[in-house]
Amino acid sequence: MKLWDENESKWQPDAKQLKKIPKLLFGLIIFFFILITILSMFYTVSQDELGVILRFGKFNRISQPGLHFKFPFFIEKVQKPPIQRIIKEEFGFRTEKAGIRTTYSPKSFEEEGLMLCGDLNSAMVEWIVQFKIKDPVAYLFNVRNQKQTIRDVSEAVLRNIVGDSSVDEVLTIRRIEINKEAEDMMQKMLDTYNLGVKIVTVKLQEVNPPEEVKPAFNEVNEAKQDKERFVNEAWQEYNKEVPKAAGEAKKIIEMAEAYAINRVNTAKGEATRFQLIWEEYNKSKDVTRRRIYIETMKEILPLVGKKFIIDESQTNVLPLLPLNQLPTGGEK
């Protein structure tokens, strides 16, 4: 506040008000100090975290999710490792933005992904490692740089496994086995460091030959795929024709067996019929002989064609008949 000085004809500061300013500033400082102290005494732990409390830099206790109290300022500090969250580390590539259309970094990470296989071929390997924190105290205090340690261990393990495998195995047939083997080896090595993490998964993403040899490598793969396709087509044709031939053979065998049964049964029937006729013939030979003769003639005569009936008393009738000019067809 200012007062009018008539002697100097100008405004002059009020001395009383000037004396109050330091007290006001001191009061404000005390107020903000108390406010900051109160605010620093409370902290919140999220649902996927645990609170690790350090008292004068030494581990003191663990707090569960929720609102908690601690000593202010440097007396106690809190760290919140995400124990429920799955943490992912990428090797040979980097994801810039995940989503429906994931975008990747255009930078080259050849120093991470270029590996020498057991058959002395090179391959560009991209993989991911997912892990969770199972012991927050061990994770925070046993190793200084936790993520870099995990990255170094993962790279060493995968280079060891790839170095014992051929490039074809890394590309195709042993991918799942390599994932499992790398996961087990990483977990065992990290447990020796007592890092306090659990490896959730190790998964190979992209495995490609170096750019310099990629065209030749692709041609080799195409030839192998063609070979597999031809083999599969041959097996398909085999599986189609062999059952068909087996079915035809079975059909022929069954028809032959049916024909044999039919012939045997017919022969048995004819033999039985002949036996019955023979028995009747023995009972009355003359009647049976006549009946058989008549039945036989009844079957034969319609097939003769021309029949001439001549009286036995006639001795010279042939010149009278134009036998050579008579039409055929069974006329009497």
Q: Which of these ranges, 70-79, 121-130, 275-284, 304-313, has the smallest mean pLDDT?
A: 304-313
pLDDT digits 0-9 by tens, 136-167: 999 999 998 999 999 999 999 999 999 999 88
CA 48 vs CA 43, 63, 72, 82, 288: distances in Å: 15, 12, 24, 6, 113
**In whole angstroms, what is the distance from residue 273 CA to residue 294 CA?**
18
Mean pLDDT is lowest, of 8-17, 35-44, 61-70, 311-320, for 8-17
| Weakest mean pLDDT among 26-30, 175-179, 319-323 | 319-323
pTM of the model: 0.57
What percent of the chain clears pLDDT 70, i.e. is strictly above it?
Answer: 85
User: For position 180, what pLDDT does the model report?
Assistant: 94
pLDDT value for 18: 55
Confidence of residue 43 (pLDDT cuts 50, 70, 90): confident
Please determine, for residue 331, whether its predicted confidence score (pLDDT) is greater than 80: no
pLDDT grade, residue 315 (50/70/90)? low
Tokens linked to 268: 């048995």
pLDDT of residue 67: 87
List Cα–Cα distances, 238 to 241, 246, 248, in angstroms: 5, 12, 15
Once rounded to an integer, what is the mean pLDDT over residues 104-112? 80
| Measured distance CA(314)–CA(27) in Å, rounded | 174
Query: Which domains does the chain carry?
Result: 2-79 (no CATH), 87-209 (3.30.479.30)
Least confident of 81-95, 249-263, 292-306: 292-306
